Homo-oligomer: A and B are copies of this chain.
Amino acid sequence: MAKEKKVEQITDMEVDFAQWFTDVCKKAQLIDYSSIKGVFIYRPYGYAIWENIQGIMDKEFKKVGVENVYMPMLIPESLLQKEKDHVEGFAPECAWVTHGGVEKLEERYAIRPTSETLFCEHFANVLQSHRDLPMKYNQWCSVLRWEKTSPFLRHREFLWQEGHTIHATAEEAKEFTEQMLNVYADFCENVLAMPVTRGQKTEKEKFNGAEATYTIECMMHDRKALQAGTSHYFGDGFAKAFNIEFTDKNNQKTNPHETSWGVSTRLIGGIIMTHGDNNGLVLPPKVAPIQVVVLPIAQHKPGVLEAASELKNRLIAAGLRVKMDDSDNSMGWKCAEYEMKGVPLRVECGPRDLENGQCVLVRRNDGKKTVVNLADLEAAVAEQLELVHKGMFEKAKKNLEDHIYEAHSIEEAKKLQDENGGFVKTMWCGELDCELAMKEKAGMSSRCIPFAQESLGDTCACCGKPASKMIYWGVAY
């Protein structure tokens, strides 16, 4: 029997969460290992999730005026070095090309770890007048960072999109940075059913070379934090370093203000760890490669297969991604298989159902069965898929909200984290020393300074000095 047909045992998440995660990735055939450590193959079922994410997100980008481009994958070392903070952050993680064919290169090239420097060089080439602004560009590509690895969470090579924009004023650039964070946040919540916390990163945690980094932070099943998307405001720092100039309305040479923003296939890791269970994947209906699986019961009986095919065709005609499994595997095997693969809705139809002009819909997320009239199939399926999304979102939201704890000292924060996981919120004075102390003594990094602030007091939980900011701490992937 083919490997594809075996549903091997998935380790329970309560026993070993990391092993559960790896088992799910492998058994649902999302990824495969390559011969290079930390570099993964995206298999059809895993890549199809990414394609669906791309398709929906790309439309959102285009709605806010973003155009797609493609920049080179190689960055000359001298170009990478033009912005000091940026190169310090990324150079240690670059893979370096030293030879082209048999010839040794005069200068070595980095495979892009991110493309700010390439976009800056291009902007400097093409920007002339304020009439050219804003330029809002994005690219879908892979990047490479030579660091520690884990499937979907930290690949050495991973797929992502990176948006890069330049604007005439700081205000407009800041506003766009926030706008893109909201595009990500809405996408996570409305498409992936992943509730997010929106906020700003601290100085320590912000992107190399940015003036400000905004983030959306999600909470996984194991109550660890996942940074799911970030947007960065650069001011005119890169523009000055790369000599990007335009002639403003008063005919003066001016530097534009810049932003960048990105999400990656890490979102798929987030989906798995937010929604999955001990039976395998639970996929959000809007990005599931198969949204509905049709399973004929007693398919050898006259009329069953024909009826099941018709149901399948009606659902395809309604714009859904549908599969019918009429293989000779047992019904038990099939149910377990599509559960493991996270298919949001199962349609069962057997001779009895058909006699009664009915079929049964079974939701993946909570197992709830609904008997529907065949005449109402399309509407009923659409409704159930919507309920699957809602149910997934509500459950994840409860997990997030139930595990945000309030602390007033490092010791208290540590105790709460050790006992419960989740986010610990405290007041914070803004000093790096306090951030380092929280890391050292409580094992937590700052996740974000939420946009939705609350006042928990007026002194820093770490040093006791006056504090006006509330911050979230957590253990992050």
The residues of A with any CB-CB pair to B shorter than 8 Å are: 1-5, 32-36, 39-44, 47-48, 50-51, 67-74, 76, 79, 92-103, 108-109, 111, 118, 121-122, 125-126, 128-129, 131-132, 137, 141-142, 144, 146-147, 156-157, 159
Q: Is the CB of B128 within 8 A of A72?
A: no
Taking CB atoms, residues of chain B closer than 8 Å to A156 are 100
Contacts of A98 in B (CB 8 A): 96-99
* Contact partners of A108 in chain B: CB under 8 A: 99
- CB-nearest residue of chain B to A145: B101
Which residues of B have CB within 8 Å of A79? Answer: 35
Given B71, B102, B131, which contacts A41 in the complex, CB threshold below 8 Å? B71
Q: CA A156 – CA B109 in complex, angstroms? A: 14
CB of A122 within 8 A of CB of B32, answer yes
Q: Contact: A5 with B131, CB < 8 Å?
A: yes
**Given A2-B132, A74-B157; 10 other pairs, CB 8 A cutoff:** A5-B131, A34-B118, A41-B122, A44-B68, A48-B67, A48-B68, A70-B142, A73-B73, A95-B97, A98-B98
A128 CA / B4 CA spacing, docked (Å): 9
Q: A2-B129, A35-B121 are in contact. Are A69 and B42 (CB under 8 A)?
A: yes
**How far is A404 from B3 in the complex, measured between Cα atoms in Å?**
53
Identity of the chain B residue whose Cβ is nearest the Cβ of A68 in the assembled complex? B47
A126's partner among B3, B100, B109, B125 (CB-CB below 8 A) is B3
Q: Which residue of B lies closest to A289 (CB)?
A: B67
Specify the chain B residue showing the minimal Cβ separation from A1.
Answer: B129
Closest beta carbon of chain B to A97's beta carbon, Å: 5
The answer on a CB contact under 8 Å between A69 and B43 is yes
Known contacts A41-B122, A44-B67, A122-B32; A95 and B102 CB within 8 A of each other: no
Q: Which residue on B lies nearest to A135, using beta carbons?
A: B44
Partner of A72, one of B43, B70, B71, B157: B157
Contacts of A70 in B (CB 8 A): 41-42, 47, 50, 142, 159
Q: Is the CB of B92 within 8 A of A111?
A: no
Assess the B69–A3 pair: CB atoms within 8 A.
no
Q: How far is the CA of A3 from the CA of B111 in the complex (A)?
A: 31
- Assess the A128–B3 pair: CB atoms within 8 A: yes
Q: Which residues of B contact A128 (CB under 8 A)?
A: 2-4
How far is B126's CA from A5's CA once the two chains are assembled, in angstroms? 12
**A3 and B132 contacting across the interface, CB-CB below 8 Å:** yes
Residues from chain B with Cβ under 8 Å of A102 in the complex: 92
Distance in angstroms between the alpha carbons of A108 and B69 in the assembled complex:
30
| Selected A-B contacts with CB under 8 Å, 20 pairs | A2-B128, A3-B126, A4-B132, A33-B125, A36-B109, A39-B74, A47-B67, A47-B69, A48-B67, A73-B73, A73-B111, A73-B157, A74-B157, A95-B109, A96-B99, A96-B100, A98-B99, A99-B108, A101-B147, A103-B146
**Given contacts A68-B51, A101-B92, is CB(A142)–CB(B39) below 8 Å?**
no
Nearest residue (CB) in B for A265 is B70
Q: Chain B residues with Cβ under 8 A from A40's Cβ?
A: 72
CA A220 to CA B259, docked complex, whole Å: 42
Which residues of chain B are near A131, meaning CB under 8 Å?
1-2, 4-5
State A132–B327 Cα separation when bound (angstroms): 13
Report if A32-B142 is in contact (Cβ < 8 Å); known contacts: A41-B71, A73-B157.
no
- In the assembled complex, the Cα of A102 lies from the Cα of B146 at a distance in Å of 10
Q: Is the CB of B72 within 8 A of A41?
A: yes
CB distance from A405 to the nearest CB of B (A): 37
Decide: A34 near B157, CB < 8 A? Known: A3-B126, A99-B96, A111-B111. no
Q: Which residues of B contact A93 (CB under 8 A)?
A: 101
Select the residue from A51, A111, A129 with max chain B CB neighbours within 10 A.
Answer: A111
Question: Within the assembled complex, what's the spacing in Å between the Cα atoms of A128 and B126?
Answer: 53
From B44, B74, B92, B103, contact of A137 by CB (8 A): B44
Output the least CB separation between A328 and chain B (Å). Answer: 11
Q: Which residues of B contact A69 (CB under 8 A)?
A: 41-44, 47
CB neighbours (8 Å) of A125 from chain B are: 32-33
Q: How far is the CA of A288 from the CA of B79 in the complex (A)?
A: 34
Does A101 lie within 8 Å of B146, measured CB to CB? Answer: yes
In Å, the complex CA distance between A88 and B132 comes to: 48
